[in-house]
Every structure is written in C-alpha cells, then in structure tokens.
Amino acid sequence: MTREEKNQLIEDLTAALESTATVYITDIAGLDAENTSNLRRACHKADIKMTVVKNALLKKAMERSTKDFGELSDVLKGNSSIMMAEAGNAPAKLIKEFRKKSPKPILKGAYVEEAIFIGDTQLDALTSLKSKNELIGDVILLLQSPIKNVVSGLQAGSGQTIAGLIKALEERNS
C-alpha cells in the first residue's frame, strides 16, 4: 500500500469517526466465514457499520480527530474491527445477542457520546444505555404527566367549571 493510499484511508477513517458519536472497537478474529457473514448481516439489519481496520491507521485517525478518544487507542492490539452506529447501545445489544451463538465478537472498548468504556466487562453497562429517542420519549412522558392531571381534573366530577378544577386540585393537595 502506498503512502498516498494510507493517507486516504486515514482521512476516510477520520471523517467516519467525526461523523458518529458511537464507536465500538471489537475483536472478531477466529470467527469462521459463516459467522462473520452472519455478523455482517446482523450489523446491516441493525444499521451498524462494521469495518475491519488496521490498528496503526485507526490510531492515526483517532489522533487526527477533534474528538478525545483518551485511552481507547491503548486497546488497539491484535485484530480490530470498528462498529459505528447512531444509537449508543445498538452495537452492545447486537454483540450480546450474537454471543449467544458464538464466543465473539469481544468488546475491546467503546466511545459513546464522549464517554469511554474499556474492556468486555463494560458490555452490560453499554446495553443498558438509553438511546437518544428513548431519552426523548422519557422526557415527553414526564412533561405530559402534569397536563394529564389537569385534563382529568377538568373532566372529573363537576368537571367543566373552574370550581370543579379548583376542587380537584384541593383534594389532590390534601
């Protein structure tokens, strides 16, 4: 591979790292062709981009990136592949599900929304992370709760009058 080709790969990796908030580094060495193919299909279905990378090129891309990957570059030993997704927990859930049938992939480390997770022991913590859409849903649910109380107060008892609302609020506070 020429120096220009390496520089182009590093630039492409840097752009990919910049464009996503979720990067998982995994070890898939030792997977047979069938399991590797199954893993790639599962990644595609889950909207996860998986790429096998050279450690030296990924390390240089991390250094060129504006993001702080911290000690994540220390896990770049042996065979490495990266998984990138929109949802922070999607790759972790996929890895956990895939490992019911196969011992790999092994999680080396992850970068999720500026947080760094090192080691396969972090897989459970990563699966329990809520995605952005799940968090937005939780906030909307919390915001709707007071509105529902007011509406139910208006519809209850003497209902359609302000006096009915005041009475419902008094009963709720006592």
Whether residue 21 sits in one domain with residue 92: yes
Could you tell me the pTM of the whole model? 0.74
CA–CA separation, 135 vs 132, rounded Å? 5
Same structural domain, 71 and 97 = yes
Residues 94 and 146 in one domain: no
Nearest to 97 by CA among 140, 39, 149, 153: 39
DSSP state of 120: G
Q: Whole-angstrom Cα distance, residue 109 to residue 82?
A: 10
The structure tokens listed for 42 are: 């599962």
What is the tally of structural domains in the chain?
A: 2
Range of the domain at 138: 133-173
Tell me, yes or no, whether 62 and 118 share the same domain. yes
Give pLDDT tens digits along the chain (174 positions).
788 888 899 999 999 999 998 999 999 988 889 999 999 999 999 999 999 999 999 999 999 999 988 889 889 998 999 999 988 889 999 999 999 988 889 999 999 988 899 999 988 888 888 767 777 888 888 887 777 776 666 666 544 566 666 777 788 776
DSSP string covering 14-59: HHHHHT-SEEEEEE-TT--HHHHHHHHHHHHHTT-EEEEE-HHHHH
Cα 56 to Cα 9, 79, 81, 107, distances in angstroms = 11, 11, 12, 18
Asked if residue 161 and residue 104 are part of one domain, the reply reads no
Same domain, 120 and 145: no
Phi then psi for residue 31, to 5 deg, are -75, 135
Q: Is residue 111 located within the same domain as residue 161?
A: no
Among 35, 13, 34, smallest CA distance to 25 is for 13
**H-state helical runs in 115-159:** 123-127, 132-155
Asked if residue 100 and residue 125 are part of one domain, the reply reads yes
